[in-house]
Every structure is written in structure tokens, then in C-alpha cells.
């Protein structure tokens, strides 16, 4: 399978190609790490989400990541969550 | 060469707010020739027009179970059928399509269908959302009916009807409330449906950077707020942030609009209704010397401060990963 990102229909994935996809996975891992989750890019085509118990879910695009992550984490993932925001601010302040 | 897509106007508005009167008058206008019309119930609409089709508002709830991400199967089918019959010359040629929703309809599934159904989005594009609000009952409906607030929030043009039979102070109060809910939409007073389609359908959007937004009286109310960012916005980080925000707060974030400075020659135009984001468009140049990103949110239960802090944190963290 070749670069699936180029074929993605999702509005947030229509430009930037492979470099953007790599940066997206890194940032999503920063965020998901706060909830004990991680994400991999699989062949530039789909994303694989994992929790620490060994469960994983395959999703098509960045829009589907968050819904699947809520299922794995068993709680909502909120970008306005003060603890999450503070942890990202600490990263940026380093 | 990509064939030109048919522009679609979504006409929505609360019960008795004058949608049909407006539609009837619009269709009489010479500038509205070659228009196909899709309405919900043919019987109640005395439209003298050669291309009126009725749909029965069948909806298909997708696996996500989210109401705004609901495919209007009936509408998709009707649009596909219109297109295929036109190219077989079975119906008169048409250029534009007007979709009129019922007064109680949630407009989000219609937008979702237009923007995501593979065949529909290839041949049709959403041009604008027109919402009618009646001067006599509008304020009361906005207080009592959440659907009417949503219809006002998603509008590109807000048409205030029946101003001739309402007290001037009531009309002003209604317009004030509409400006609080959706300050980015053009606001037009129209009597007896009498409006030039060129003005209604092609009125310029208000530049989000020129809006004067006041904080709401109650944060639980639907209100608009804007965020300005001097720093360049990393588009990848923005996509991660907004998709996450809309997943967790999609029911409360009714609308996102704005210009985003991603470092290109021109801004990126963003326009979304709940989970449904129009394909972002890159403008070739900025309209003026102001290069700040400016986003307008129409939301309830979330504050400008927390949204801005979160967006900045995502943007800055992305620069380091």
C-alpha cells in the first residue's frame, strides 16, 4: 500500500503529505500519552491506537482517532482539560 | 477539466418564519432561472415551478451515533437522481439547487450530506445557508427552541421577516439577539419575500476580524467569541486540536469560522458546523495588511479564554515535537 495520506478525504489531512503525517502522529502521541494511550502510523494509510493493556484499534483518519481513543481510555478526551493543556505548556516551556 | 459544481442554497428557518414566501418570490425572479428545488412536503408548498421535488426526510444514523453526522439518505438520493436525469435530458437543465428544510429540521445533517456523500459532493457544492427568523415570534422561539438557535448559528445570511407587523423595538431586540448568536452572518430585513437573489445569495460575509463581539450575559447561552493569534498557526497541529475539540465538544460548538495564517501567501479559510468542516480553502492573498489569524466560535458552555489557551498550547507543543 502506498501513501494513504495522499488519498485521505479528511479535511485536516488534505495537505502536507508524509511530513505532516509524521508531525501529526508525534503531536497526537503527546496528547494521547496524557491518557495512557499511543498511536502509530501504519504504512501512511491508517492509524493504530494502543492502550497499556495491549488493546489496539485501527482508524482511518485523525477525526476518528479521538472517538476510538475515548473508547480505549473509557473517558472523554477533552482538549480544554486544564491538566492536559498545562502538560503541553510545560513541553513548550522546556 | 473539472466540471463546475452546482451551487446549493440551504433555506432553513423556524415554523412560520416565511421560508416558503421567500422561496416563492425568489423563484419568480429572473435571476433564479434554472433552479431545482427540493422541499420536504410538496403538498403544503404552492410553488409554481417546473423543478420542485419532495423528499421525506429519511435519515441514516451513522455508526458514530452522532446526530450532526447523520446522512440524509433521501436528500443524497434526490440530488444524485437530479444530476443523472439532467445529463440524460429527462428533466430541464438546471444550474442551482435550493433545499428547503422543515421548520423543525436540524440543518447539520443536510450540511453533512452535502459535504461528505461521495457522489453529491463531486457534483454539488454548498453556496450558502439562509435562515429566516420572524420578527413577531423569533425572540421567543430562540429562547424556547434549541433548533431555532442552531438554525441561526449555521446561517451565512439571516433574513428577518415580518418586520412590518412587529413593533420596532421587538425587531431591534431580535436583531440584537441574532447578532449575539451569529455576528458573522449578514443580516437582512425582508418583507413579503421581496429580495434580490443577487443580494441574498451573494452578500459578502462579514470579515471575522472586524466583528465587535461582546461577552455573553450567561455562559450557558449560545454566544459568539473570537480568538486572534499573532503567531503563525501550524496547520497540522490545528487539525489535531480542532478534530479533538469537535469530538469532545461538538454538541456545544455550533460553528467555527475564520481566517488562519499558516505561513502561506494568503490565509486559509475555515468554515465548519459542529463536526462538519468545509474543505479548507487557501486564498491567494490576504485582504489587507492584517496578517493575524482570527477565528469566530459560536458555542455554549465554553469560554474564549480556555479555547484560546488550549489552541496556543497545541500550536506551541507542535513546534517542538
B61 touches chain A (CB under 8 A): no
HSE of B119, CA atoms in CB hemisphere, 13 A: 12
The whole-angstrom separation of Cα A69 and Cα A59 is 10
Q: In terms of pLDDT, which residue wins out, B277 or A69?
A: A69
- Backbone dihedral angles phi then psi of residue B240, each to the nearest 5 degrees: -60, -45
CB contact under 8 A, A92 and B307: no
Which residues of chain B does A16 touch, with a Cβ-Cβ cutoff of 8 Å? Answer: 235-236
What does the pLDDT read at residue B210? 61
Q: In terms of pLDDT, which residue wins out, A33 or B95?
A: A33
A57 touches chain B (CB under 8 A): no
Task: Identify the CA nearest to B302 among candidates B217, B188, B220, B189.
Answer: B220
Block mean pLDDT (10 aa), chain B, length 321: 78 86 84 79 51 54 50 81 85 84 77 86 89 92 86 92 90 93 89 82 62 58 88 95 93 89 91 84 88 91 94 92 59
pTM of the model: 0.79
Task: Identify the CA nearest to A82 among candidates B313, B298, B236.
Answer: B313
Question: What are A70's three cell numbers?
Answer: 475515548
pLDDT surpasses 50 at A4: no
pLDDT surpasses 50 at A53: yes
What does the pLDDT read at residue B47? 53
What does the pLDDT read at residue B220? 64
CA distance A66 to chain B (A): 6
What's the burial of A52, exposed, middle or buried (CB within 10 Å: 0-12/13-18/19+)? exposed
CB contact under 8 A, A67 and B64: yes
CB contact under 8 A, A88 and B314: yes
B247 touches chain A (CB under 8 A): yes
The whole-angstrom separation of Cα B212 and Cα B319 is 31
Q: What ipTM was reported for this prediction? A: 0.93
What does the pLDDT read at residue B42? 47
Q: What is the pLDDT of residues B70-84, one digit of tens each?
A: 667 778 888 888 888
Residue indicated by cell numbers 500550536: B315
B63 touches chain A (CB under 8 A): no
Amino acid at each position: 500500500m502506498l501513501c494513504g495520506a495522499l488519498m485521505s478525504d479528511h479535511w485536516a489531512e488534505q495537505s502536507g503529505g508524509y511530513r505532516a503525517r509524521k508531525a501529526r502522529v508525534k503531536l497526537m502521541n503527546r496528547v494521547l500519552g496524557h491518557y495512557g494511550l499511543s498511536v502509530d502510523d501504519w504504512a501512511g494509510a491508517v492509524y493504530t491506537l494502543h492502550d497499556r493493556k495491549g488493546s489496539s484499534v485501527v482508524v482511518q483518519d485523525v477525526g476518528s482517532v479521538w472517538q476510538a481513543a475515548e473508547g480505549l481510555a473509557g473517558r472523554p478526551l477533552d482538549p480544554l482539560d486544564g491538566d492536559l493543556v498545562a502538560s503541553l505548556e510545560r513541553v513548550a516551556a522546556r | 477539466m473539472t466540471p463546475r459544481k452546482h451551487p446549493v442554497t440551504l433555506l432553513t428557518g423556524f415554523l412560520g418564519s416565511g421560508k416558503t414566501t421567500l422561496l416563492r418570490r425568489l423563484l419568480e425572479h429572473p435571476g433564479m432561472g434554472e433552479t431545482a428545488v427540493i422541499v420536504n412536503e410538496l403538498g403544503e408548498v404552492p410553488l409554481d415551478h417546473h423543478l420542485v421535488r419532495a423528499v421525506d426526510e429519511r435519515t441514516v444514523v451513522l455508526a458514530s451515533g452522532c446526530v450532526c453526522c447523520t446522512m440524509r439518505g433521501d436528500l443524497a438520493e434526490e440530488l444524485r437522481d437530479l444530476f443523472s436525469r439532467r445529463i440524460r435530458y429527462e428533466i430541464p437543465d438546471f444550474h442551482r439547487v435550493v433545499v428547503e428544510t422543515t421548520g423543525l429540521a436540524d440543518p447539520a445533517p443536510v450540511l453533512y450530506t452535502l459535504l461528505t456523500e461521495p457522489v453529491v459532493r463531486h457534483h454539488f457544492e454548498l453556496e450558502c445557508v439562509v435562515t429566516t427568523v420572524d420578527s413577531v415570534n423569533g425572540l421567543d422561539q430562540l429562547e424556547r427552541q434549541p433548533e431555532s438557535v442552531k438554525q441561526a448559528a449555521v446561517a451565512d445570511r439571516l433574513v428577518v421577516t415580518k418586520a412590518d407587523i412587529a413593533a420596532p423595538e421587538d425587531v431591534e431586540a431580535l436583531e440584537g439577539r441574532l447578532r449575539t448568536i451569529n455576528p458573522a452572518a449578514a443580516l437582512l430585513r425582508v418583507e413579503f419575500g421581496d429580495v434580490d437573489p443577487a443580494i441574498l445569495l451573494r452578500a459578502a460575509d462579514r470579515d471575522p476580524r472586524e466583528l465587535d463581539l461582546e461577552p455573553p450575559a450567561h455562559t450557558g447561552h449560545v454566544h459568539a467569541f473570537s480568538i486572534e493569534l499573532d503567531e503563525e498557526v501550524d496547520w497540522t497541529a490545528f487539525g489535531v486540536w480542532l478534530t479533538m475539540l469537535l469530538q469532545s465538544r461538538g454538541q456545544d460548538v455550533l460553528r467555527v469560522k475564520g481566517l488562519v495564517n499558516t505561513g502561506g501567501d494568503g490565509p486559509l479559510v475555515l468554515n465548519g458546523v459542529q463536526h462538519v468542516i468545509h474543505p479548507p480553502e487557501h486564498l491567494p492573498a490576504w485582504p489587507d495588511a492584517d496578517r493575524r489569524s482570527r477565528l469566530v466560535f459560536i458555542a455554549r458552555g465554553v469560554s474564549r479564554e480556555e479555547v484560546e489557551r488550549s489552541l496556543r498550547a497545541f500550536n506551541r507543543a507542535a513546534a517542538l515535537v
